[in-house]
Structure 1
Amino acid sequence: MVSECDVPLVVQTRHQQTGRSVVASGVEYSLRKWSCTLLDGRPRASNAAHLPYIKEVEFVLHETFDNRHRVVRRPPFRVEEEGWGEFDLVVIVHFVNCPEPLQFIHDLNFHEGELYEKKHHLVRPRPPP
């Protein structure tokens, strides 16, 4: 029997208006510069951005972005972009000592303030001793 472990991760989202706008389908939208950073979600993590148990993180952006599939291979595991719309950001986490990556969806939105954090719990096989 393979034992499992819960891996609490946090996605920290920051965004701010750029002062510029774009017109899409006849509607004007404010452009925002935004970033999403994966952090350690354990309560007493000394350095939340360190994440030594993660090998790489893939961020899959909305289909309207150029180069929508971004791979980050070392901390900070962050994606930064500029845009006007909200979307479901796919986050694929590759762990050290774990053959299969795990993924989750992060709701990237501009309604929860300029800085917000969402906790996500991933369950993965416990690494061998």
Structure 2
Amino acid sequence: MIVERKIKIVTEQHNINKPAVMEGFPMKEWTVEIYVLDQDGKEKPAKCFTKVVYHLHPSFENPDQTFTEPPFKCTNEGWGEFEMTIDLFTTEKGGKHTVAHDLNFAAPQYEVEHTISFKNPSQALQQVLRETGPLPSDEERKLKKGDGAKKKKHAVDVDKMADGIVKLGEDDLLQIIQLIHDGKDDNTYIQNNIDAGEFSVDLYTLPEALQKSLWDFMAKQGVVS
């Protein structure tokens, strides 16, 4: 699954009362902040990132600056324009996104948007991303749930089965996952994030025969009755 979100980089700058380092170029204070846009285009805290690293011009005393709280505000002083790179990190394996940003003094404030793609986000990151809009899988899940709802009858008490699964040991859980893989059909909603070690399934979308097989297996383990 790939989830896309637009980020907005907001830059503000103004002159400050300090002696010019370079003749003809007044000293400036500038600030860069990063936001995520929701589905309505409104700015939201970029909580999908755990840290942001700004790589400034090498002439800065501290050219690599790290921030760990939204809006990842980076403030500095200088007289020159330059292009920086910005690294945006998530908790995911390989979760680093890099964008280029042109620092210029043409306007007191300007905004630039970039599209960031999150590949197979973990369940935790999915929850954060949902705060700014639905995920591609949400609509798919809704449709499959709708198809499943037409059947109405279920071979077992699905809610009890869901409660029982969390009581199983690791070996039994692995067997449950194998049974699901072997018995699922096109209506089964599954998310399998191998990198994050996560597996989730909507039990209501399982074929009735598979629901019964899972129930019988869990009954033998004593977690449903």
Same fold per superposition (TM over 0.5): yes
Which interval holds the TM-score relative to the shorter structure?
Answer: 0.7 to 0.9
Q: Deviations over 1:40-94 (max 9, x none)?
A: 123436652x222111100011111011100101122110001111111211000
Secondary structure of the corresponding residue to residue 121 of structure 1: strand
CA RMSD between the two structures? 1.9
The residue aligned with 1:36 is 32
Question: Is the 8 Å Cα contact of residues 13 and 35 (structure 1) preserved in structure 2?
Answer: yes
Query: Using the alignment, how far apart are the partners of 1:4 and 1:35 within structure 2?
Result: 31
Matched with 2:97 is: 102
* Cα shift at 1:10: 0.6
- Greater fraction strand: 1
1:75-123: CA deviation from partner (whole Å, max 9, x where unpaired): 2211000111111121100023353301010111111x21111101122
Equivalent in the alignment of 1:116: 110
2:9 pairs with 1:5: no
Distance, in Å, in 2 between the alignment partners of 1:110 and 1:126 is 38
Please list every run of at least 4 consecutive aligned residues from structure 1 whose deviation after the TM superposition is greater than 4 angstroms: none
Q: Which stretches in structure 2 are left out of the alignment for 5+ residues? A: 124-225
Q: Per-residue CA shift, 1:16-52, capped at 9, x if unaligned?
A: 011334243xx4310111000011123436652x222
Determine whether 1:63 maps to 2:61: no
CA distance, structure 2, for counterparts of residue 100 and residue 76 of structure 1: 18
Aligned identity (percent) is 21
Structure 1 unaligned blocks of 5 or more: none
Q: Which has the larger radius of gyration?
A: 2
How many residue pairs get matched? 123
Is the CA contact (8 Å cut-off) linking 1:21 and 1:28 kept in structure 2?
no
Rounded to whole Å, the distance in 2 between the matches of 1:14 and 1:47 is 16
**Whose helix proportion is higher, 1 or 2?**
2
TM-score, normalised on structure 1?
A: 0.84
What is the DSSP-based 3-state SS (H/G/I as helix, E as strand, rest coil) of the residue aligned with 1:123?
A: strand
Task: Say which structure, 1 or 2, has more relative contact order (CA 8 Å, 6+ apart).
Answer: 1
